[in-house]
């Protein structure tokens, strides 16, 4: 029924007396490129590295739900100079990220019921793979930032059992 209405209405529109005009206008597009990036160091070493958390009892983790906070820091040097140049750290999503709670899964360790939570320099949870990271993961003049990682368990993933916790996450830098 609807097809018939559209079919019979369309020829009427094609022959109706209306005019469409457009004014000539110019759209200017402007951007800026600057050379180079920054050299990145994790805890004063190379860009790829390991953050080692302390040994914690499963009783402590199961009771506190979050423990073993360990700070790690990035230092940026030899950054290209540009006005209003910001560097934003993005922790990427992927198969090692639990997208329900944005914890980093214990992908390669033997413990169960435990994941890792990343936090910003301001103490808020980082949600890997999301755009919400830009606000607190942004650095300008100091070119460095302290982040933290802790063991975490909750009713959806726990209780924690003894074993190792090993995972990895990719990060990249965005220059603004």
pLDDT in tens, 12-48: 545 555 555 556 565 646 555 555 577 888 888 888 8
- Confidence (pLDDT) at 155: 83
The reply to whether 2 falls in a domain is no
116 bridge partner residues? 104, 151
**Pairwise pLDDT comparison (135 vs 151), residue with the higher score:** 151
SS3 assignment, position 60: helix
The reply to whether 77 falls in a domain is yes
- Confidence (pLDDT) at 53: 93
The reply to whether 160 falls in a domain is yes
Query: What phi and psi, each to the nearest 5 degrees, are found at residue 127?
Result: -110, 90
Locate 145 and state its tokens: 């930032």
Domain range for 77 is 39-175
Question: In total, how many domains does the chain have?
Answer: 1
pTM, to two decimals: 0.74
Percent of the chain exceeding pLDDT 90 equals: 40
pLDDT tens by residue, 59-86: 999 999 999 999 988 888 877 665 546 7
DSSP 58: H
Euclidean distance between CA atoms 174 and 176, whole angstroms: 6
């Amino acid at each position: 029924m609807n097809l018939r209405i559209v079919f019979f209405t369309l020829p009427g529109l094609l022959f109706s007396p209306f005019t469409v005009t457009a004014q000539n206008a110019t759209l200017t597009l402007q951007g800026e490129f600057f050379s180079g990036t920054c050299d990145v160091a994790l805890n004063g070493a190379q860009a790829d590295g390991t953050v080692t958390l302390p040994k914690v009892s499963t009783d402590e983790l199961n009771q506190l739900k979050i423990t073993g906070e360990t700070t790690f820091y990035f230092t940026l040097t030899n950054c290209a100079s540009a006005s209003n140049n910001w560097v934003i750290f993005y922790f990427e999503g992927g198969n090692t990220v639990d997208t329900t709670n944005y914890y980093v899964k214990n992908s390669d360790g033997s413990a169960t019921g435990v994941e890792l939570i990343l936090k910003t320099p301001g103490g808020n949870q980082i949600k890997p793979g999301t755009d919400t990271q830009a606000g607190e993961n942004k650095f300008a003049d100091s070119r460095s930032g302290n982040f933290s990682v802790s063991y975490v368990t909750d009713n959806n993933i726990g209780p924690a059992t003894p074993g190792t916790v090993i995972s990895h996450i990719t990060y990249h830098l965005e220059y603004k």
